[in-house]
Structure 1
């Protein structure tokens, strides 16, 4: 077909002339050799078995360890309930930090295909799938630092009222390889100083030093990331709630009757009901909820990504409330049978935990998928891996938040020799108070989310 440069220009021409109807993918995507890709020759269902297979194996390994770790720590290593829960959430949080490394490598150096390939090989250490082929476009972290430095250097300059006076390449394509241009926005005008062409820039003809002068698109990249941070931050509390499935839900189950007839149900195995919930909710969402919602919202997907995440946050509050109510009933039975001072299981079937697992699964469908779509759709083209990794950073911080809350709760509630809310013998504790605390935090977080989401402005591409 010719040189790489000719193919790149062909791709750009196709985008300019035909928009989204052009023959190429339209978002800077390339194949593993760095060449432009025709829409008809990439993606779709041919790629799905490989993506789903990789993700399935990764989830099997990760969830298999996470679900049984708290049981192992308490029964085999004889850790206390709080200590075991802190260990699990800290471990899960640390695992979720690792994708940031893969995101930087994918966006800046290797591209997504080779990042997947390399980390699949070394997955026993750490790994995360990054799903699309895309040519790296320079370090996004470096570009953000350049905007900050350039805007500080020009702090005393005035930003022109006419945004067309700000610096941008005259070509139709962006200066950032693998990224389309972004329209100027009026928010965070202090950052626009980085794109102000000063008299010194004109005199020295210094237009290539991005530490002094940035393009509008580069400035908008940072603006987009800053606008996303409040939405991103509200997901941390949900991740703390989600972490309870692997810690407090399991410990609650260990204090209940795990026998059904001649069978004994391992408390960690109730996580399968979360999976079943996901399996049930996905077709219900696609076949029932979306068509109904589409009639009211007029949106093709029924709900926007922001609306979907909001629904999930509300459901997570219900999940914690269900867990708290169940614990109240369990403690009432323990008290009526004089089991408060005994570290034994209460004769209440562990299957009563199923509703709270189902609710967490429903919240997961709305929030997790909504987050992935939001970060991918709203992120700049050349920062998609990094922004997608931010959704996994939420998981890390949520686990750390759960550990922090456990530490604070234990410190405060055990003063004066009290057993506290979460003692090793849950029958003399108040795990229900802990669940109510998370439900309350979830409600406050939901209110903050509604405020931030109602004011969020989506990115604009010219």
Structure 2
């Protein structure tokens, strides 16, 4: 699975990283239209990931969903390559290929879940190997993004768009070949269990109908069907879930009354496992919410970090290093932190905590939330020094990074903040992959894994809203504000301090969520 995902992400980042330039150079869109096109495409891709996850859990199963969506990706990349190689590319054909590619890449939560399915989480060794899988799986994504976002972008910019898109098309074919070649080795296939949305709706309706019924004090008095194999008869392939005391009002859906015996219906009487499915999802939502602010701060790498770096000296001798390229140090940081975490940090933590994974999943994510606050402090500290350099040299209006005039301060001073962001990513984003998979009901793992994607998407929207609000609120009364067009007259340091404070506050709220959270338990 990691090799398959690496090929997929080489192809994806080769297209997405330089997409705005293709739209401007080959389809002749202006900068604003091109930027909006990229944003709309990415947003649609995030939404489609939930569609793919729903199809996998409800109807197709994870294996066949991956196979189908990967074939869609191949068709998409071929269409994009044909357009890129044409002397006068068709905008309509390009957008059809682009959105098909977004649809094909929407299977990512399903791939994550299918990979996790290959490990037996009923024993300690299986859980250790599963946890290690998520680390190395994420590593493969970063290798893919590094190659696609650098080597292939260089090919597009310096050789030809046709070759720069043809290589991703070849990678998509190789991804399909690698996935299908492993068919005989895949050990577990979670069968589709019907619509999870329907099951959730049945619990809500049944509980609402019985709002006057008192839930019993003992869980043994609640309704639970069992098949001959000890599995829940109402959810195919799903292990039974143990009753939990949170959200007790939902237990009413599993209270059997005289009317239920006379008129049996899943919209009137649900099993304990079905009720606990909904409880699992509800417990995940506050954790998801904490990831939104994390993502909003994380994506500053592609916005305010770039604005800051554009004014700094990009030269090493006669060689120019654009500010956007410095983000490669974040990718390198992740690639170094993954083996360090898996081979050093986890064994050491295991000795101290006695936990099989070194840290609990919630603890791991919490560490990342705190580390990101340090990255914002590092960015703010550099901004204070940048403003001091501007003041010393009187470069408020003569240096904007656009006229070949740069501050006498190297862009490589940004490296520490990118490295710290990479460390935070390893703890939180990989922790999210593992957590949302592990804490989801068996029949909803793809859909719940998609929640981490939703969290990241909402974080992007929050970042845009935060920048807009801060820029307008601080520019009242004729002031330049924190984030003006002339960035040297702004106060990016204050914006970074604000993000650091928000990150710290997020950690505080997260600690309350982690203390409240109840881990899922299955009935053996």
Instruction: Calculate the TM-score normalised by the size of structure 2.
Output: 0.73
User: Which whole-Å CA distance do the structure 1 matches of 2:425 and 2:20 have between them?
Assistant: 16
Matched, 1:185 2:139: no
Q: 1:119 to 1:170 in 2, by over 3 A?
A: closer
Secondary structure of the residue aligned to 2:204 is: helix
Q: 1:51 to 1:135 in 2, by over 3 A?
A: farther
Matched, 1:168 2:224: yes
What is the match of residue 409 of structure 1? 470
User: Which whole-Å CA distance do the structure 2 matches of 1:362 and 1:304 have between them?
Assistant: 17
Give 1:357 deviation, angstroms: 0.6
Q: Deviations over 1:405-459 (max 9, x none)?
A: 0111111011122221111211111111111111111110000011111221101
Task: Output aligned runs, 1:439-454, within 5 Å.
Answer: 439-454=500-515
Secondary structure of the residue aligned to 2:241 is: coil
What is the match of residue 47 of structure 2? 97
What is the match of residue 194 of structure 2? 138
Give 1:61 deviation, angstroms: 3.8
CA contact (8 A) 1:333 1:346 kept: yes
> Which one of 117, 126, 136 corresponds to residue 67 of structure 2?
117
CA contact (8 A) 1:111 1:135 kept: yes
Structure 2 unmatched ranges of 5 or more: 74-100, 115-188
Q: 1:90 to 1:51 in 2, by over 3 A?
A: closer
Q: Deviations over 1:279-333 (max 9, x none)?
A: 1111211222112211110112211111110110011000111011111111110
CA RMSD across the alignment: 2.4
What is the match of residue 518 of structure 2? 457
User: Which whole-Å CA distance do the structure 2 matches of 1:311 and 1:177 have between them?
Assistant: 37
Matched, 1:255 2:320: no
Matched, 1:50 2:4: yes
CA contact (8 A) 2:20 2:35 kept: no
What is the match of residue 432 of structure 1? 493
Q: 1:65 to 1:311 in 2, by over 3 A?
A: farther
User: Which whole-Å CA distance do the structure 2 matches of 1:348 and 1:283 have between them?
Assistant: 33
CA contact (8 A) 2:254 2:271 kept: yes
What is the match of residue 397 of structure 1? 458
> Which one of 332, 338, 345 corresponds to residue 388 of structure 2?
332
Secondary structure of the residue aligned to 1:187 is: coil
Q: Deviations over 1:232-253 (max 9, x none)?
A: 1101111011111111111211
Give 1:84 deviation, angstroms: 10
CA contact (8 A) 1:89 1:243 kept: no
Give 1:87 deviation, angstroms: 8.7
User: Which whole-Å CA distance do the structure 2 matches of 1:323 and 1:273 have between them?
Assistant: 15
Matched, 1:310 2:366: yes
Q: 1:78 to 1:56 in 2, by over 3 A?
A: closer
CA contact (8 A) 1:85 1:403 kept: no
The structure richer in helix per residue is 2
Q: 1:166 to 1:65 in 2, by over 3 A?
A: farther
User: Which whole-Å CA distance do the structure 1 matches of 2:72 and 2:394 have between them?
Assistant: 53
Q: 1:311 to 1:89 in 2, by over 3 A?
A: farther
Secondary structure of the residue aligned to 1:348 is: strand
What is the match of residue 14 of structure 1? none
> Which one of 375, 384, 392 corresponds to residue 319 of structure 1?
375
User: Which whole-Å CA distance do the structure 1 matches of 2:67 and 2:19 have between them?
Assistant: 24
Q: 1:284 to 1:135 in 2, by over 3 A?
A: same
What is the match of residue 150 of structure 1? 206
User: Which whole-Å CA distance do the structure 1 matches of 2:477 and 2:37 have between them?
Assistant: 25
Task: Output aligned runs, 1:279-428, within 5 Å.
Answer: 279-342=335-398, 343-344=400-401, 345-428=406-489
User: Which whole-Å CA distance do the structure 2 matches of 1:281 and 1:427 have between them?
Assistant: 34
Secondary structure of the residue aligned to 2:194 is: coil
Secondary structure of the residue aligned to 1:156 is: coil
Give 1:125 deviation, angstroms: 3.1
Instruction: Calculate the TM-score normalised by the size of structure 1.
Output: 0.83
